[in-house]
Amino acid sequence: MATSFWGNNALQFDFVASVGRSGGLLNMWDPNIFSMQSSYKSRHLLLSSGTLIGSNTTLHILNIYAPQELPAKRDLWDEANEEFVFLGPPERRFLEKLKHFKEVIKEWFKATKLKEDEMELTLQQDLEHLDNSLETRSLTEEEEWILLEAKKNLLELEDYKRKDLCSRGTICHWNWRWKRRDLDSVEAHQLQQCINQLNQVQITSGKDQWLWTKDVSGIFTVSSMKTILLGTPLQNNFILQWNSWVPIKVNIFGWRAEKDRITTSTALITRGIHLESHECKLCEGYEETAEHLLVSCFVAHMVWQFVSAWCHISPLFFFSVRDLLKAHKYINVSRLKKKAIQAIILTACWKIWKTRNEKVFEGKPVNITNLFHDIKSLSFLWAKNRYSCNSISWSDWCDMSL
């Protein structure tokens, strides 16, 4: 049929049959001009290879019926590349790809090298700045805090307010300029402590440098810090169960209070801060610690009795802050009410601390009735806006019918 269509029975041909009503490939040639030597067939590709008669020139007759799907087109292209090289000899194509790859690597190397040089320059500048700062640096925040708190009385007397280290004196003596000549016993004691601490510092003629005292090399390493941490006994492994009904700051306050890390009078005196009294600011009868303020104080006792009556549970008695923070676990109520009681306890601790600070810094007297109302309203406000169901009403909260 193919030869009759062209009107010449002397033509030769090769074909791939159609599938259904589509497809099918046909190659035809004059045997006096072209001599076929090999043939490759697939559903979408027909390749007839041979030579031109008289010149021995290699000739490939390629016929393609491309599919519609993009993945199938890619597979067809890969198949054609395997049987027939379109873009030249394989070694030439490889060299072109390699050349392009080398150019990409070269550009990447230049960009990386430039970035590393900039980083190295920045680090070098930071190091030089640090060296210069160590020579003539101002006091650090910690040093300023010590001067403002631990040496408060001395600062009130000092007339020379510059904070540069070199302005304080020379190797032989210190420059102190007081507003009055005579110092009282507390001020003289603080001055002697300050001089004793300064005399322990050994000043050398070389540049100052940072030293890691926990390693003999003086260089900080993560491994040395890990060794220190692993060798430190964990005396307190209490894990606070955070409550999502109160703000994060309230959870953190409860966690710090259990570790006695809130700034009570006793804690401040332990840190070297001079206070006129270490008594509790609420009851004014006992030493102020975190445990006393939240557990043993008369005001705290009244608060916990109020919470017990409000929540319809047995009276709450605690021996430590840890007992206080774990109390909700041992109350025989529903899971939802346990969470509510924990939120109320944390809120009460927060309000006791706020009441203490208001009396210390603002001079407000302690009003236990107002403290009760604040605990109830503030805990409801926090729970109402943080509880996922958001279905707690004020009447239910007041009756604690959860």
Both tokens of 194, joined, read 């300050």
Q: In this structure, are 34 and 173 located in the same domain?
A: no
- 3-state helix, strand and coil shares in percent for the chain, rounded to the nearest 5: 50, 10, 35
Is residue 109 in a domain? Answer: no
Q: In this structure, are 289 and 356 located in the same domain?
A: yes
Is residue 53 in a domain? Answer: yes
Is residue 221 in a domain? Answer: no
How many whole angstroms separate alpha carbon 255 and alpha carbon 247?
13
Q: Which helix (H) or strand (E) holds 199?
A: helix 185-199
> Which residues span the domain enclosing 152?
136-201
Q: In this structure, are 381 and 302 located in the same domain?
A: yes
Torsion of CA 141, 147, 150, 156, to 10 degrees: -140
How many whole angstroms separate alpha carbon 198 and alpha carbon 154?
15
Q: In this structure, are 154 and 295 located in the same domain?
A: no
Q: In this structure, are 302 and 182 located in the same domain?
A: no
Q: Minimal CA–CA distance to 307: which of 341, 356, 350?
A: 341
Burial class (CB in 10 A: 0-12, 13-18, 19+), 350: buried
Given its phi and psi angles, is residue 390 left (phi above 0), alpha (psi -120 to 50 degrees) or beta? left
Place of tokens 């975190």: 290
Q: Which helix (H) or strand (E) holds 28?
A: strand 25-29
Is residue 113 in a domain? Answer: no
Is residue 95 in a domain? Answer: no
Calculate ∠ Cα 366-371-372, nearest 5°. 140
Is residue 194 in a domain? Answer: yes
How many whole angstroms separate alpha carbon 90 and alpha carbon 77?
16
- Give residue 239's pLDDT: 82
Task: Tell me the angle at which helices 298-311 and 368-386 cross, rounded to the nearest 10 degrees.
Answer: 50
- Give residue 173's pLDDT: 62
Q: In this structure, are 17 and 153 located in the same domain?
A: no
Which of 44, 61, 86 is the last residue in one of the domains? 86
Is residue 339 in a domain? Answer: yes
The string of DSSP codes covering 68-90 is SSHHHHHHHHHHHHHH--SSS-H
List CB contacts of 144: < 8 A, sequence separation 6 or more. Answer: 163
Q: In this structure, are 282 and 370 located in the same domain?
A: yes
Note whether 352 and 286 are within 8 A (CB).
no
- Give residue 87's pLDDT: 47
Q: Minimal CA–CA distance to 8: which of 37, 27, 30?
A: 30
Cα torsion angle, 384, 385, 387, 389, sign:
positive
Number of structural domains found in the chain: 3
Is residue 91 in a domain? Answer: no
Q: In this structure, are 145 and 278 located in the same domain?
A: no
Calculate ∠ Cα 155-157-160, nearest 5°. 70
Burial class (CB in 10 A: 0-12, 13-18, 19+), 71: exposed
Q: In this structure, are 79 and 145 located in the same domain?
A: no
Q: In this structure, are 27 and 147 located in the same domain?
A: no
Q: In this structure, are 318 and 381 located in the same domain?
A: yes
Q: How many residues does the chain have?
A: 402
How many whole angstroms separate alpha carbon 98 and alpha carbon 75?
24
Strand 45-52 relative to strand 57-64, pairing: antiparallel
Q: In this structure, are 374 and 277 located in the same domain?
A: yes
Amino acid letter for position 393: S
Which of 53, 70, 86 is the last residue in one of the domains? 86
How many whole angstroms separate alpha carbon 64 and alpha carbon 336?
72
Find how far residue 252's CA is from the centre of its chain: 17
pLDDT along the chain (402 residues), means of 10: 60 80 79 85 82 83 79 74 55 67 84 86 78 61 60 58 52 66 76 80 74 86 88 72 93 93 89 83 90 93 93 88 91 90 95 94 92 94 80 85 74
Both tokens of 313, joined, read 């549970």
